[in-house]
Amino acid sequence: MKKLIILGGSGIGMIAASIANELGYYNVIGFLNDIEKEGSFIGNYNKIPVIGKTSDIQRFVDEDVCFFIGYVGMKNEEEVYRKITNLNIPANAFATLIHPRAIIPKGFCEIGNGVLIAANAQLSPDTKISDNCIVLGNAIIGHNSVMERFAHVAASGHIGANVVLGKGVHIGSNATLREKIKIGDFSLVGSGSVVLNDVPENTIVVGNPARILKTKD
Mean pLDDT of the chain: 94
Q: Do domains 2-71 and 96-217 have the same CATH topology?
A: no
The domain limits of the chain are: 2-71, 96-217
From 99, 143, 152, 158, the catalytic residue: 158
Q: Give tens-digit pLDDT for 94-149.
A: 999 999 999 999 999 999 999 999 999 999 999 999 999 999 999 999 999 999 99
The pLDDT value given to residue 73: 65
Does residue 72 have a pLDDT over 80?
no
| Residue 158 appears among annotated catalytic residues | yes
The SS3 call for residue 213 is: strand
- What is the CB-side half-sphere exposure of residue 18 using CA atoms within 13 A? 17
Q: Pick 96-217's CATH classification: 3.30.9.10, 3.40.50.300, 2.160.10.10, 1.10.3720.10.
A: 2.160.10.10
Q: How far apart are CA 124 and CA 174, in angstroms?
A: 18
Q: How far apart are CA 216 and CA 198, in angstroms?
A: 16
- Point out the least confidently predicted range of 15-29, 43-57, 62-76, 128-142: 62-76
CATH architecture of residue range(s) 2-71: 3-Layer(aba) Sandwich (3.40)
- Point out the least confidently predicted range of 47-56, 61-70, 96-105, 149-158: 61-70
